[in-house]
């Protein structure tokens, strides 16, 4: 994590803590108010959620949006919208990567995923499912599948099968996390933000040390 990213994270975390302690976020803590607002929005609610999920998917941050969906919709609906968003984002990434070409996509796949290349070429269906189970809705999987020229039909079917269990897990994780988060005082949020910031800083230092070896 580079210094600008750490600084931005720290500022956002501090603003959230101040807003929470000042009661400015109280409206967002009222689940019934949020659900009523979403219900009044009609089909725009799910549509805006999917658009937001597409943007967060590109930033490797789909999980928070999926977790939040459990606060505004019943779990079956939250799962349906989240699954549709994850699948749509994955398919779009795969299609774009194939259109841009293998050379462009190859440069954007890290070595940790490229190690699966031989297995993907021999057993594309089971390999994509395995990667989905490990990494869920990760755009690198879609780019990697495009690089390996996995047939579209195989990619789609494997993605549908592979996305189902981890999406269900994310929904259950979000439902439990929101229940716990709703009971946290403002200092609990501050502590959580501090731990996350320290963890990100430690991780960046560890990667820097490994790069020097």
Whether residues 207 and 125 share a domain: the answer is: no
Average pLDDT over residues 83-106: 84
Residues 122, 212, single domain; the answer is: no
145 in the same domain as 107: yes
- Average pLDDT of the residues of the chain: 75
Residues 195 and 137 in one domain: no
Check pLDDT > 80 for residue 211: no
154 plus 57 within the same structural domain? yes
- As for how many domains the chain has, the answer is 2
Provide the pLDDT for residue 1. 47
Give the per-residue pLDDT at 63.
Answer: 84
Q: CA 20 to CA 25: how far, in whole Å?
A: 5
Same structural domain for residues 4 and 109? no
The CB density around residue 126, as the number of other CB atoms within 10 Å, is 14
Q: What is the pLDDT of residue 26?
A: 54
CB atoms < 10 A from the CB of 56, how many?
18
* pLDDT, tens digit (0-9, with 9 covering 90-100), for 172-201: 888 876 555 555 565 555 666 666 566 555
Q: The whole model's pTM is what?
A: 0.67
Residues 176, 107: one domain? yes
In whole angstroms, how far apart are CA 30 and each of 12, 65, 71, 192? 22, 18, 10, 21
Q: Are residues 209 and 163 in the same domain?
A: no
Same domain, 15 and 99: no
In this structure, the answer to whether residues 178 and 191 fall within a common structural domain is no
What confidence category does residue 5 fall into, taking pLDDT thresholds of 50, 70 and 90?
Answer: low
- Do 122 and 197 fall within a single domain? no
The pLDDT of residue 107 is 64
What gap in Å lies between CA 148 and CA 102, rounded to an integer?
Answer: 8
Task: Give the confidence band of 212 by pLDDT, cuts at 50, 70, 90.
Answer: very low
Alpha carbon distance 88, 69 (integer Å): 17
| Range(s) of the domain holding residue 159 | 48-182
Tens digits of per-residue pLDDT, 37-76? 677 777 788 888 888 888 888 777 788 888 888 888 888 9
Task: Tally the residues of the chain.
Answer: 213
Domain co-membership, 64 together with 21: no
Mean pLDDT over 135-142 rounds to: 88
- CA dist., res. 70 & res. 77, Å (int): 9
């Amino acid at each position: 994590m580079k210094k600008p990213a750490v600084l931005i994270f720290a500022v956002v975390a501090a603003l959230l803590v101040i807003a929470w302690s000042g009661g400015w976020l109280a409206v967002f803590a009222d689940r019934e108010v949020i659900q009523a607002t979403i219900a009044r929005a009609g089909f725009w609610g799910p549509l805006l959620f999917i658009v937001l999920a597409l943007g967060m998917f590109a930033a490797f941050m789909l999980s928070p949006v999926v977790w939040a969906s459990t606060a505004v919709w019943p779990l079956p609906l939250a799962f349906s919208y989240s699954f549709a968003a994850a699948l749509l984002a994955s398919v779009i990434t795969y299609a774009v990567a194939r259109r841009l070409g293998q050379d462009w996509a190859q440069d954007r796949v890290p070595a940790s995923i490229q190690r699966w290349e031989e297995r993907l070429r021999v057993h594309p269906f089971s390999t994509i499912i395995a990667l989905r189970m490990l990494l869920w809705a990760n755009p690198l999987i879609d780019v990697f599948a495009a690089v390996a020229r996995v047939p579209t039909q195989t990619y789609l079917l494997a993605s549908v099968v592979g996305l189902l269990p981890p999406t269900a897990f994310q929904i259950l994780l979000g439902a439990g996390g929101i229940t716990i988060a709703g009971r946290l005082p403002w200092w609990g949020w501050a502590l959580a933000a501090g731990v996350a910031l320290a963890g990100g800083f430690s991780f960046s230092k560890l990667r820097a040390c490994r790069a020097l070896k």
